[in-house]
Structure 1
Amino acid sequence: MAKINHALYKGVSIRYVSLKGRVWFFLGDVAKVTPVDDDTLAKIDPRHLAGVNVKILGTKQRVDIVTAFGVLVLGNLSGGPLAASFTHWAYDVATGGGK
């Protein structure tokens, strides 16, 4: 089971996991900051989207996750007001510079 990590972006807790040397962000948390819809997700390379089993409050759950590159693409496609700063932040977290 993947260990859940947390980082704060402008007061919003963004959860992420590290799998095989790569940081993956919880898609539901990403959606709190930048708009995510089915049309946008369909444009993301499937290699940057996955599901993972985690334990939340003692209960095993499957959550959707997205790579830092996938966050960059989502931010560029969504064009939301926080998209640019959030994608930079996500890159910093993924590379160890923003924890």
Structure 2
Amino acid sequence: MSDGDDLTSHIDYFNQLLNGLLRMESKFSNENKVIILLVSLSDSYNHLVTTLLYASTTPILEDVIDSLMEYYHRKKDVGEACDEGLYVKDGREHGRQKKK
């Protein structure tokens, strides 16, 4: 996954790959699935990956996906809020006339 890629699409693709491997009778432990998913993420997820990998218990894949999606949506919302803030500021500056 590259920075800026859609996490939902990445997780869907990951699940498709897992399902394909399961049809070929490949077996993966929950821990291996979690590790494969986490190492496939972009560098922007490094701090979250580190937190999840060094948890005191082995995380369950569904919980990891939930945490990733929560982080992704929060990051996306913050980015949109910053963009809107810049737009408002930009609009205010252009609306003012300079006093002479």
TM over 0.5: no
Structure number with the higher strand fraction is 1
TM-score for both structures, normalised by structure 2:
0.27
TM-score for both structures, normalised by structure 1:
0.27
User: Higher relative CO (CA 8 A, sep ≥ 6), structure 1 or 2?
Assistant: 2
Structure number with the higher helix fraction is 2
Q: Which has the larger radius of gyration?
A: 2
